[in-house]
A and B are shown apart, each in its own frame.
Chain A
Amino acid sequence: MPVAWIPSLMQKLTAGQQQVEVEGATVREVVAALDARYPGFKERVLDGDRIKTEIAVAVDGEVVAAGLRAKVGPQSEVHFLPAISGGAS
């Protein structure tokens, strides 16, 4: 089952839990599963049907361009990170 890593500033929602096992084959399904277990989660990370601009989602250590559509494997880690504005050089 994928493991979602909860940012420390959102762990009030998860009663302090940093890692949560959730069902889901996409980021969208993982977020939905987290929101079902921890109401309010979706509101913190989504703006409508998109990930909030200030947040990035990484699956297995790589920030995903596909956003909510990104695939999540059974052994995947899903991280919610502060977005880094593009174009370092």
Chain B
Amino acid sequence: MPANNGYKVIGTRPIRHDGVDKVTGRAIYGADTQLAGLLYGQVLRSPHAHARIKSIDTSKAVALPGVKAVLTGTDLPDAGDQIVDLGEGPARLKYLRDNVLATDKALYSGHPVAAVAATSVHVAEEALDLIEVEYEELEAVLDVREAMQEGAPQLHDDMTTQEFGEDTGRKSNLATHFEHRLGDADKAFAEADVVVEREFQTATVHQGYIEPHNATASWNADGQLTVWTSTQGSFTARAQVGAVLDMPISKIKVVPQEIGGGFGGKIPIYLEPVAALLSKASGQPVKMIMTRPAVFESTGPTPGSYIKIKMGADNSGKIVAADAYIAFESGAYPGGLVGAAAMCVFSCYDIPDGRIDCYDVVVNKPRSFAYRAPGSTQVAFATEHVVDLLAAQLGMEPLEIRLKNNATTGTRRIDGVVYPKMGCKEVLEAIRDSEHYQSSAPAGPNGGRGISVGYWFNVGLKSSCTASVNADGTVSLVEGSTDIGGTRTSVAMQFAETLGLQAEDVKPQVADTDSIGHTDVTGGSRVTYATGWAAYKAALDVQDQLCERAAQLWEVEAGQVEFDDGVFRSGDNELTFKELAGRLEETGGPVIGRATVDPDSGVGGSFAANIADVEVDPETGKVDILRFTVIQDAGRAIHPAYVEGQMQGGSVQGIGWALNEEYFYSGDGHLDNSSFLDYRIPTSLDLPMIETIIVEVPNPGHPYGVRGVGEANIAPPPAAIAAAIEDAVGVRPQELPMKPDRIVAALQAHEERAAQAAGG
């Protein structure tokens, strides 16, 4: 059924092209990869959070029957300590390489130190037990503020603090310090009628994708390497493998398999270079699949954080000043996500004067990587709390203060960026107008409601598409973006809309790095935006070529052929797309459209908001989500069901951050909850149906108005749930997760304060 939006395909809900394969189990994931002579690889990981590696003896493992190759960090090529350009950002090669296999130091419990390839997984595991590693244990530091202290155990002997292009020369775990300032925050705070300041902490949490990391590598005798892997970006995987192995990218082909979840965590490489070198050493292909504990212990979680927020408002409710101190763990290596947090911390509000002070700090945990709107959830939890406190002191409703201060077109953020057309106000108005908001808040003494809003910017980067017109009028569309959220279909729909086709007439496929032009990662909520734009341009290329073919048939000039709604016309002549596709043989043969894009303007961003109803059990501290609504600006919802799916998925993950999820370390830095039994993500039994409201404020920077929707939805849930808890029982935790014991402790402290007040 056509959508009521002026389009025929955009806004409809066709069945996804890869749906049948996935629901019938036929889709090929990394673990399904089978090759003749396949060996199985396993990784030995450090049991210590911080230790110097004094020696590694692999002789007994090498001698075990069935073992075909054994590697340590010193087997990785040493191309020196240089900055390598991975196309989407630089990386320090030593850090990239040492995170794959440690050389001099193990920097977190689970850090890979050696690897084995054998004829079976079991032989490989047995061989790991025979590898003897001599460690010199060192004191570990796991907390961001402790790591910043003078005298804290130093992870990297040579690391000094960088301050915006200047090496301070100060040896420290503090890798980077930067700040943003707008106007005169001190003066604005001095003139404010109300000022609130609070401190917050958030836990290290994992992306929690169901499919573990995997890689299969085949190193041919001619030096050509093929890697099959679960990745969010085959081209960035190729670039990283090339950098670690000191190989030209022309020698490497990465074949992206179907991906069972990534959320940012499958952009970095882990197993790929190891499988490659094991294959080179053994002369056979090698498959490696991480165990679940290894995924938790060794792959990128999102950073734990310490955040301090101060905001001031005048008596009318106008927020006049804001100040943020944000310290993020980056894990074992620098280069964390605090920069993104700085862009999001006050992004929902129009504030004239402010300051944002940011610190990127190494700790003895796995290297932090992106997790869905990286950095935004942490800071939204903090900022939204302080905004609610301002509202309370001013006698305003939470929604009222947000609508009075929402960011809008022309708002200059404190980091200097000026917003183009944005949908923050429309999202807040959608809260106000929703049936949920207008319904009664949960009845009973322990029920409450909260709202919140969050933001994530989109990125552009490079995408490529090719489109082959088939004689039956269908089109084979090849793209380089790995599909983690239904993007095959959302990209194909934009192609179909442009040429007046049905979504089902377009057959999308994700190609390997030898079969499509460079395409950057599936991340930054960019694929429906940028790869969709490439598909739109490829469709226009096809349209131009078919106009020329029609002109040949009708013996007119190409400029005399018009195309509209799937039909080519010139005078009385008329051919549908399908009819013309059937006549390509007589006009010069195949037609292939192609396009690349690298948009660096008009990329846009998306706001999301929540209404959360909860009930708190004051005896146990358990919080039940009674009703939950997510509202988000999609710009233009290409496939509304997939937009809703992203909104629901991000909400569920945000609820997990809010109530359950955390890395739980023992005192010596060992991760004690490295399984889904102990690392508690929400299940369907924990949640109500997540209600969705799509807001459409078209992005003027995209042909179809697209805004990426994959990420902003994870930002507001912890703040909305915290507000609802406060509404329910009068306490509002300032630390994530808001687990039962924290709620009980907060209630007890609240009661003690009340008793003292009554007694005093």
Q: A residues engaging B (CB < 8 A)? A: 5, 7-10, 18, 44-45, 52-55, 58, 60-66, 70, 77, 79-89
Given the contacts A61-B417, A82-B178, A88 and B163 also touching, CB distance less than 8 Å: no
Given the contacts A9-B164, A64-B600, A81-B416, A89 and B339 also touching, CB distance less than 8 Å: no
**CA A8 to CA B163, docked complex, whole Å:** 10
What is the CB-to-nearest-CB distance from B260 to chain A, in angstroms, rounded to a whole number? Answer: 14
Q: B residues engaging A (CB < 8 A)? A: 83, 85-91, 162-166, 176-181, 232-233, 236, 262-265, 267, 335, 337, 339-340, 342-343, 358, 370-374, 415-420, 456, 459-461, 484, 520-525, 598, 600-603, 710-711
What is the CB-to-nearest-CB distance from A18 to chain B, in angstroms, rounded to a whole number? Answer: 7
Supply 5 A–B pairs (Cβ within 8 Å), ascending by A: A8-B180, A79-B416, A86-B520, A87-B233, A87-B520
Given the contacts A10-B164, A89-B370, A61 and B339 also touching, CB distance less than 8 Å: no
Given the contacts A44-B165, A62-B601, A87-B89, A9 and B232 also touching, CB distance less than 8 Å: no
Given the contacts A65-B598, A79-B417, A89 and B232 also touching, CB distance less than 8 Å: yes
Given the contacts A9-B164, A53-B83, A53-B90, A88 and B181 also touching, CB distance less than 8 Å: no
In the bound complex, do residue A82 and residue B164 qualify as a contact, i.e. CB atoms below 8 Å apart? yes
In the bound complex, do residue A86 and residue B236 qualify as a contact, i.e. CB atoms below 8 Å apart? yes
Q: List residues of chain B with CB within 8 A of the CB of A77.
A: 416, 418
Which of A7, A18, A54, A83: most chain B CB closer than 10 A? A54
**CA A85 to CA B337, docked complex, whole Å:** 8
Q: List residues of chain B with CB within 8 A of the CB of A65.
A: 460-461, 598, 600
What is the CB-to-nearest-CB distance from B447 to chain A, in angstroms, rounded to a whole number? Answer: 35
In the bound complex, do residue A89 and residue B417 qualify as a contact, i.e. CB atoms below 8 Å apart? no
In the bound complex, do residue A87 and residue B165 qualify as a contact, i.e. CB atoms below 8 Å apart? no
**CA A45 to CA B456, docked complex, whole Å:** 27
In the bound complex, do residue B459 and residue A82 qualify as a contact, i.e. CB atoms below 8 Å apart? no
**CA A63 to CA B736, docked complex, whole Å:** 32
In the bound complex, do residue B335 and residue A85 qualify as a contact, i.e. CB atoms below 8 Å apart? yes
**CA A64 to CA B459, docked complex, whole Å:** 11
Q: List residues of chain A with CB within 8 A of the CB of B371.
A: 89
Closest to B710 in A: A89
In the bound complex, do residue A89 and residue B520 qualify as a contact, i.e. CB atoms below 8 Å apart? no
In the bound complex, do residue B523 and residue A88 qualify as a contact, i.e. CB atoms below 8 Å apart? yes
In the bound complex, do residue A62 and residue B603 qualify as a contact, i.e. CB atoms below 8 Å apart? yes
Q: Which of B164, B417, B598 contacts A44 (CB 8 A)?
A: B164
In the bound complex, do residue B521 and residue A61 qualify as a contact, i.e. CB atoms below 8 Å apart? no
Closest to A85 in B: B89
Q: List residues of chain B with CB within 8 A of the CB of A18.
A: 181
Q: List residues of chain A with CB within 8 A of the CB of B85.
A: 53
What is the CB-to-nearest-CB distance from A87 to chain B, in angstroms, rounded to a whole number? Answer: 4
In the bound complex, do residue B339 and residue A63 qualify as a contact, i.e. CB atoms below 8 Å apart? no
Q: List residues of chain B with CB within 8 A of the CB of A61.
A: 417-420
What is the CB-to-nearest-CB distance from A9 to chain B, in angstroms, rounded to a whole number? Answer: 4
Q: List residues of chain A with CB within 8 A of the CB of B522.
A: 89
**CA A53 to CA B95, docked complex, whole Å:** 15
In the bound complex, do residue B524 and residue A89 qualify as a contact, i.e. CB atoms below 8 Å apart? yes
**CA A85 to CA B90, docked complex, whole Å:** 7
* A7-B180, A18-B181, A77-B416 known, 18 other contacts, Cβ within 8 Å: A7-B179, A53-B90, A61-B420, A62-B600, A65-B460, A82-B176, A82-B342, A85-B91, A86-B520, A86-B524, A87-B233, A87-B267, A88-B264, A88-B372, A88-B373, A88-B523, A89-B232, A89-B264
In the bound complex, do residue B523 and residue A89 qualify as a contact, i.e. CB atoms below 8 Å apart? yes
Q: List residues of chain B with CB within 8 A of the CB of A60.
A: 418, 601
Given the contacts A82-B178, A88-B370, A45 and B165 also touching, CB distance less than 8 Å: yes
**CA A9 to CA B163, docked complex, whole Å:** 7
**CA A52 to CA B523, docked complex, whole Å:** 23
Q: Which of B88, B176, B358 contacts A54 (CB 8 A)?
A: B176
**CA A47 to CA B362, docked complex, whole Å:** 25
In the bound complex, do residue B601 and residue A52 qualify as a contact, i.e. CB atoms below 8 Å apart? no
Q: Which of B91, B179, B358, B711 contacts A88 (CB 8 A)?
A: B711
In the bound complex, do residue A86 and residue B88 qualify as a contact, i.e. CB atoms below 8 Å apart? yes
**CA A10 to CA B342, docked complex, whole Å:** 18
Q: List residues of chain A with CB within 8 A of the CB of B460.
A: 62, 65
Q: Which of A54, A64, A66, A70 contacts B165 (CB 8 A)?
A: A54
Q: List residues of chain A with CB within 8 A of the CB of B236.
A: 86-87
In the bound complex, do residue A89 and residue B262 qualify as a contact, i.e. CB atoms below 8 Å apart? yes
Given the contacts A55-B164, A58-B417, A79-B417, A86 and B343 also touching, CB distance less than 8 Å: no
In the bound complex, do residue B339 and residue A82 qualify as a contact, i.e. CB atoms below 8 Å apart? yes
**CA A87 to CA B262, docked complex, whole Å:** 11
Q: List residues of chain A with CB within 8 A of the CB of B232.
A: 87, 89
What is the CB-to-nearest-CB distance from A7 to chain B, in angstroms, rounded to a whole number? Answer: 5
Q: List residues of chain B with CB within 8 A of the CB of A9.
A: 163-164, 166, 177-179
Q: Which of B88, B176, B181, B263 contacts A89 (CB 8 A)?
A: B263
**CA A18 to CA B416, docked complex, whole Å:** 10
In the bound complex, do residue A88 and residue B339 qualify as a contact, i.e. CB atoms below 8 Å apart? no
What is the CB-to-nearest-CB distance from B610 to chain A, in angstroms, rounded to a whole number? Answer: 20
**CA A89 to CA B267, docked complex, whole Å:** 9
In the bound complex, do residue A86 and residue B179 qualify as a contact, i.e. CB atoms below 8 Å apart? no
In the bound complex, do residue B600 and residue A81 qualify as a contact, i.e. CB atoms below 8 Å apart? no
Q: List residues of chain A with CB within 8 A of the CB of B598.
A: 65
What is the CB-to-nearest-CB distance from A88 to chain B, in angstroms, rounded to a whole number? Answer: 5
**CA A35 to CA B233, docked complex, whole Å:** 38
What is the CB-to-nearest-CB distance from A17 to chain B, in angstroms, rounded to a whole number? Answer: 12
**CA A80 to CA B162, docked complex, whole Å:** 15
